[in-house]
Amino acid sequence: MCVRLAEDEASEGLVWGSVPLEMLYAAEPWRTFRWYAGQKHYSGSYWSSTQSDHVIYESRLELARLLYADFDRDVTAIVAQPFLRAGAGLRRSAGDGGGRAGPAGRR
């Protein structure tokens, strides 16, 4: 597994169970999306009040998850594609994203 910490810096060869959650929450999205007329998928960016920044998404399903997470008071962080799975016998794949829940009502 690989995690992009900054635009030009990545940690590679990480084992899933040993990666600190703080590293995933601080990670940059693994890839960016292109938009063009007539594309078959629906990708974009959503302004998240939880993050106070744009969060990218690749499909309407991911956008729906972002909306639910952004309105959930227990969610304190949202990340988009924080890691890349790669290895012997695996197809390279960027994880969709996730959120972090904190104490109820805390934002």
Question: Given this model, what pLDDT does residue 7 score?
Answer: 67
Total-model pTM: 0.64
Parent domain of 86:
2-101
Query: How many independent structural domains does the chain possess?
Result: 1
The pLDDT value recorded for residue 15 is 80
Looking at the domain assignment, is residue 107 inside a domain? no
The CA–CA distances, whole Å, from 83 to 5, 12, 30, 35, 39 equal 10, 10, 6, 22, 25
DSSP 17: G
Per residue of the chain (107 residues), give pLDDT as tens: 778 777 677 777 788 788 888 887 778 777 777 777 787 778 888 999 998 988 888 888 889 999 999 999 999 888 887 777 765 444 444 455 555 555 544 44
Tell me, what's the pLDDT at 99? 54
Task: Give me the pLDDT at residue 20, please.
Answer: 82
Tell me whether residue 85 is in a domain: yes
Burial 18-45 (b: 16+ CB within 10 A, else e): ebeeeebeebbbbeeeeeeeeeeeebeb
